[in-house]
Amino acid sequence: MKIDSIKNGFVIDHITAGNAMKIYNLLGLGNLDCRVALITNVPSNKMGKKDIIKIDDDIVIDTDILGFVDPNATVNIIKDEVIVDKKKLELPEKLTNVIKCKNPRCITSVEQELPQIFNLTDKEKQVYRCLYCETKANNA
């Protein structure tokens, strides 16, 4: 399978196999005008198999969302068809409007205009909790 190389844009590499579609949706890549390639189940020495997303445009990527969904992914920044930078992702300290609180007793369940904010409370176990009610987020 051949996918053209990118001129200016990003390659999100080392995505855990199966996560690409989730990232595609959360980053709103379907709304872009440019070419976006979503490649799944690519053989990988390190990971067995992995997903890759290529974006042929110089957009701003929300690395918080990316870091939350797949902290092991890497972002390669491409300029004039050359990788000029590689970004390692980290779990973001705070997530705003990425996931929703599922606690029916939370104030966000009745006031839908409130921003959905989650804070990283346990980095090791990747635990996020709702700012308002402290309910644990379901990261899956």
Partner 1 sequence: MRSLIDILDLNTDEISQLIDKANDIIANPAKYSEKCRGKKLATLFFEPSTRTRLSFEAAMYELGGNVLGFSAAQNSSAAKGESVADTAKTTSCYADIIAMRHPKEGAPLVAAMNATVPVINAGDGGHNHPTQTLTDLLTIYREKGRLDNLTVGFCGDLKFGRTVHSLISALSRYENIKFVLISPEELKLPSYVKEVLKKNNLEYVQTTDLDSVMPELDILYMTRVQRERFFNEEDYLRLKDSYILYPERLVNAKADISILHPLPRVNEISVAIDDDPRACYFKQVLNGKFIRMALILKLLEVE
Q: Is 105 in the site for partner 1 (CB under 8 A)?
A: yes
Q: Is 122 in the site for partner 1 (CB under 8 A)?
A: yes
State the Cα–Cα distance between residues 93 and 24, nearest whole angstrom: 22
Of 9, 108, 128, 137, the one binding partner 1 (CB under 8 A) is 108
- Which residue, 47 or 114, has its beta carbon nearer to partner 1? 114
- Which residue, 33 or 113, has its beta carbon nearer to partner 1? 113
State the Cα–Cα distance between residues 42 and 100, nearest whole angstrom: 31
Q: Is 60 in the site for partner 1 (CB under 8 A)?
A: no
Q: Is 110 in the site for partner 1 (CB under 8 A)?
A: yes
Facing residues of 136 across strands?
A: 129
Least distance in Å: CB of 96 to partner 1?
14
CA–CA distances in Å: residue 45 to residues 42, 51, 79, 81, 130: 10, 13, 26, 24, 37
Cα dihedral: 139, 69, 63, 22 (round 10): -120
H or E element that contains 105:
none
Q: Is 139 in the site for partner 1 (CB under 8 A)?
A: no
- Which residue, 55 or 101, has its beta carbon nearer to partner 1? 101
Q: Which residues bind partner 1 (CB under 8 A)?
A: 103, 105-111, 113-114, 121-122, 127, 129-136
